[in-house]
Amino acid sequence: MAGDELIVRLNAVADELRVTASALRWRLVGLDWIDKDIGRGIAEDRLRNNGRSKPAEEPLLPLFSPTFVEVIGKAVNEGRVAMRRVLHLLGISIDDLADLFAVHSVEAPYEL
């Protein structure tokens, strides 16, 4: 793949993977899928914002996966972990945890 075609492909794939095109470039260089000299030769400004003039406005992904939130809820319900411990380990407030359960439509293990 040659210059412009490679840049277009890097930007498109990076968008699909939700990573920066620059990070993708160096990951592919590290895997030897792109020659190191070719990787160095790609101008950083061509990859900035994955080829767009300004960053894309995308909604933020939830902090944790639904499966993880279900496991946390079950562990608290079964008394395997204290609520305070969960809050401390995750670095969130009780209100944030309530929002997390709501976002994933998981029943909270307590009244919030």
Question: Are 7 and 44 within one domain?
Answer: yes
pLDDT digits (tens, 9 = 90+) for 54-107: 777 777 677 899 999 999 999 999 999 999 999 999 999 999 999 999 989 998
Q: Where on the phi/psi map is residue 105: left (φ > 0), alpha (ψ -120 to 50), or beta?
A: left
pLDDT digits (tens, 9 = 90+) for 31-62: 999 999 999 999 898 898 888 877 777 776 77
Residue 2, pLDDT score: 59
Taking the C-alpha atoms of residue 75 and residue 90, their distance in angstroms, rounded to an integer, is 14
Q: Are 39 and 79 in contact (CB under 8 A)?
A: no
Question: Are 12 and 45 within one domain?
Answer: yes
Task: Residue 25: name the closest of 17, 15, 111, 11 by CA.
Answer: 11
88, part of any domain: yes
**Helix residue ranges, H only, the chain:** 3-17, 21-30, 36-41, 44-47, 66-77, 83-90, 94-103
Please give the residue range of the domain that contains residue 25: 3-51
Question: Are 45 and 72 within one domain?
Answer: no
Question: What domain count does the chain have?
Answer: 2
Taking the C-alpha atoms of residue 46 and residue 6, their distance in angstroms, rounded to an integer, is 11
Question: Are 43 and 13 within one domain?
Answer: yes
Report the predicted TM-score, pTM, of the whole model to 2 decimal places: 0.51
Taking the C-alpha atoms of residue 32 and residue 29, their distance in angstroms, rounded to an integer, is 5
